[in-house]
Chain A
Amino acid sequence: MKVAKHTFDAVIVGAGGAGLRAALQLAEAGLRTAVLTKVFPTRSHTVAAQGGVAASLGNSTPDHWHWHMYDTVKGSDWLGDQDAIEFMCRKANEVVIELEHFGMPFDRTDEGKIYQRPFGGHSMNYGEAPVMRSCAAADRTGHAMLHALYQRNVRARTHFSVEWMALDLIRDSEGHVLGVTALELETGEVAIFHAKATIFATGGAGRIYHSSTNAFINTGDGLGMAARAGIPLEDMEFWQFHPTGVAGAGVLITEGVRGEGGILRNCNGERFMERYAPNLKDLASRDVVSRAMVTEINEGRGCGPNKDYVLLDITHLSPEIIMKRLPGIREIAIQFAGVDPIKEPIPVVPTCHYMMGGIPTNYKGQVVMPKDGNPNVPVPGLYAAGECACASVHGANRLGTNSLLDLLVFGKASAETAVADIKSGNLTLRELPKDAAEMSLSRIARLENQKEGEPVADVLLELQRTMQNHAGVFRFKDKLEEGVQKILAVDERVRRTAIRDHSKVWNTARMEALELENLIEVAKATMISAAARKEPRGAHVRDDCPDTPEFPNGRNDKEWLKHTLWFRDGNRLEYKPVNLEPLNPDTQPIALAKRTY
């Protein structure tokens, strides 16, 4: 197969929030940049974010970035790196105000400022009371943000390669990243995008679970590419189960519903969160609420004929507030739950939502990996931002509204670092290895020639069921160990999938087969990292670790206050320390403590 070659200063993979924010920075710096995206930019999954973006603007209640930092570190169960968290919380006001200047249609307060609502785990004065920190455009914040960022890129004349799927990372023998190979969906052509800098903004991989709020496109493409290129994946055992996915459908109902006053109830009509989180109640952080919901269901207090969900109740709110602040949620409830939430509560269950782990980076957006005893050596030429990256600002559990903030702050920071590295001459266009496209071409050739084999849909279903049953909200030693064996067996099956469609034009069967090869890397990393971590922390909940004074909530800081690194080669695990030092020496670190809400 003939392989065309395109040369740029920088190539960005992904055009969701992080990719578009990075693209803007590079376009405005005057660098020749290509943005590769599997879908038209406004179809990226940032579009589905609902509740808001965090910033301590203090428009409605007093607020401070250090309170936000405290909430984020505590929310992360102390697994987040405090330098990156400080960086993000201090940058929040700047990037949100910038977005407003770009045209983002935020809701407004009576004074005309950006409207802010309360959100789970966000508090005033170090946990005292809920704070209004989530900057929102009704319950369509992600849509408003993604469109505003795309529009600003139209203004900046950013070059997009739309409906191109990146296939593999190109690294030379010294480990420098030289770009990617990619497949044009419309023609089936493979091309090399040769660049000085490569920024991954490929989003999440929630499709490893059977029940997920994530879009079909969230297949962890960046993580698969990184893993195949020898780059480890960090903290992959930590997956967020959002408390309120529509029961059965998996579609997201924003936490903003509880921010506006929504209440979770069991079959007795009880507001059960009062027992689990006496202070923040329904607005405790997501891992705490999801765990409480599953406990209620497991103890027989679920709702419905099978007692397998709980109810999210907003019938006590005025229809005007619902129509003004939560119009999209009402649509979703009518469409996917068959109930009008003005009159009836919505059936909800915890649903896979967000990947806290990802490609390891520092707070500047540089991808880092261990080398010569230093765990955080930058991989020259490679940057990552947004959900695919692990900075790590979310640690073991992300707070709602911190993901939209993450992609703005680190989308911008990664591009700024790349611009500096290019302009200083740190990065140059290095010579491509002769076999630069070899791995991608052989993957495609295998699919072309595989005559006997399993359908992609069957293997995907087995992968998703295995993850759902063995690495869910509550985790058990035996189930995890069994899960590792099962997922390794699925890995073997992924290598033998066969497709019947061999057309060159818009071959979605081929695309889905290639996506499955990315999903399996994410699934292996998750299951193997989870089986190894023998403590509960944040979203990784083990049943075999009781709450004692030495081990608060079962957490074991002596042995497990460390980041996991999974390497694809041999499924090897390494660990690296958590950074408990803030970025600036004057900043008060957030000391280890027991997590209660």
Chain B
Amino acid sequence: MTRVVQFRIYRYDPDKDQKPYMQDISVEIEPTDKKLLQALVRVKAKDDSLSFRRSCREGVCGSDAMNINGKNGLACLTDIDSLTQPIVLRPLPGLPVIRDLIVDMTQFFKQYHSITPYLVNDDPPPERERLQTPEEREELNGVYECILCACCSTSCPSFWWNPDKFVGPAGLLNAYRFIADTRDTATNQRLDDLNDPYRLFRCHTIMNCVDVCPKHLNPTKAIGKIKELMVSRAV
């Protein structure tokens, strides 16, 4: 049995619209359509001008992050049945909108790129792998899985206020990923770089990031660990 889903979707095409508006649209879905993304694909088949990013449809590529009934999430991992209708869809908050549900992620990636997002180890590499115990590797669990979808950073009031100065939860989670890696030799430089009233210390543990992360990661915890390391280094 097909059924009908009601949507209110943020629309804005700078090529023709003076200003954004909310469009009411309903669409018939099939019983096999369980996820919001599947319903959105049906909306697009009806009105091909609706623009949104999507790719893997299984929650690992991070393309289809959007604001769903007021909360950031991935369309491909959100059950249609979990949502009250009309389903209100808006672009991720706090970033410039390019068109419809597509935001300009330049600022988000700029912060990610600012944390030296790669392993630093200038020792000559051994012939075989660098060794790491299972326990040392365990430290990276819950950190390396970030998919850079920006759900967390764009739900963070500190990031809304200072997107140019505050690294934001995603960037800080990734900063901790390298600090926690026993193969990385730049821990001190990394801590120095973050020891700044804005870059790290704008985090006020509001914890919206934890609430929205579609991968169930905990940026607040990672930020706490960075702060602990700064304190233990100082004494």
Contacts from A to B (Cβ < 8 Å): 39-40, 42-45, 47-48, 97, 100-103, 105-114, 137, 140, 143-144, 147-148, 151-152, 154-155, 186, 215-217, 248-249, 251-252, 328, 331-332, 335-336, 455-457, 499-501, 503-509, 512
Contacts and interface: CB of A to CB of B under 8 A. Distances in A.
A43 B61 contact: yes
Contacts of A110: 133-134
A101 B117 CA distance: 14
A248 B34 CA distance: 10
18 contacts: A39-B55, A43-B56, A43-B63, A44-B61, A45-B55, A47-B147, A97-B127, A101-B130, A103-B183, A106-B137, A108-B132, A137-B144, A148-B119, A154-B117, A251-B57, A455-B48, A456-B48, A506-B100
B228 interface: no
The 7 residue pairs across chains A and B that have the minimum distance between CB atoms: A103-B119, A112-B131, A509-B48, A501-B49, A151-B118, A457-B45, A43-B61
B226 to A, nearest CB: 18
Contacts of B102: 506
Contacts of A216: 54-57
Contacts of B57: 215-216, 251
A249 B54 CA distance: 16
B193 interface: no
A508 B52 contact: yes
Interface string B124-145: 0101111111101100100011
Interface residues of B, number: 56
B117 A105 contact: no
A48 B60 contact: yes
B117 A151 contact: yes
A215 B56 contact: yes
Interface in B106-159: 109, 113, 117-119, 121, 125, 127-134, 136-137, 140, 144-145, 147-148
A404 to B, nearest CB: 15
A147 B144 contact: yes
A285 to B, nearest CB: 24
Contacts of A154: 113, 117-118
Contacts of B61: 39, 42-45, 47-48, 215
B105 interface: yes
A503 B13 contact: yes
Contact of B98 (A143, A249, A336, A505): A505
B171 to A, nearest CB: 13
A18 to B, nearest CB: 17
Contacts of A248: 32
A101 B58 contact: no
A249 B38 CA distance: 10
Contacts of B34: 249, 336
B51 A507 contact: yes
Contact of B130 (A100, A249, A500): A100
Given A457-B48, A508-B52, 18 more contacts: A97-B128, A100-B129, A100-B130, A102-B119, A103-B181, A105-B137, A108-B137, A110-B133, A112-B136, A113-B131, A143-B147, A152-B118, A215-B57, A215-B61, A505-B14, A505-B98, A506-B100, A509-B48
B62 to A, nearest CB: 6
B interface, over-half SS: loop
B63 A39 contact: yes
A505 B131 contact: no
Nearest to B52: A508
B219 to A, nearest CB: 16
Interface string B36-73: 00000000110111011111111111110000000000
Contacts of B133: 108, 110, 112
Interface string B81-121: 00000000000000000111010010001000100011101
B77 interface: yes
Nearest to B134: A108
B15 interface: yes
Q: Which of A102, A151, A217 has the most CB of B within 10 A?
A: A151
B16 interface: yes
Contacts of A506: 51, 98-100, 102
Contacts of A499: 48
A513 to B, nearest CB: 9
Contacts of A508: 44, 48, 51-52
Nearest to A248: B32
A114 B129 contact: yes
B175 to A, nearest CB: 12
B144 A144 contact: yes
A457 B127 CA distance: 52
A503 B45 CA distance: 17
A455 B15 CA distance: 22
A107 B99 CA distance: 41
A455 B49 CA distance: 12
B8 to A, nearest CB: 20
Contacts of B145: 140, 143
Given A108-B137, A251-B58, A505 B15 contact: yes
Contacts of A332: 58
B89 to A, nearest CB: 15
A97 B129 contact: yes
A215 B118 contact: no
Contact of A48 (B47, B58, B109, B113): B58
Contacts of A151: 117-119
A188 to B, nearest CB: 9
Contacts of B109: 40
Contacts of A100: 129-130
Contacts of A331: 59
Contacts of A43: 55-56, 61-63
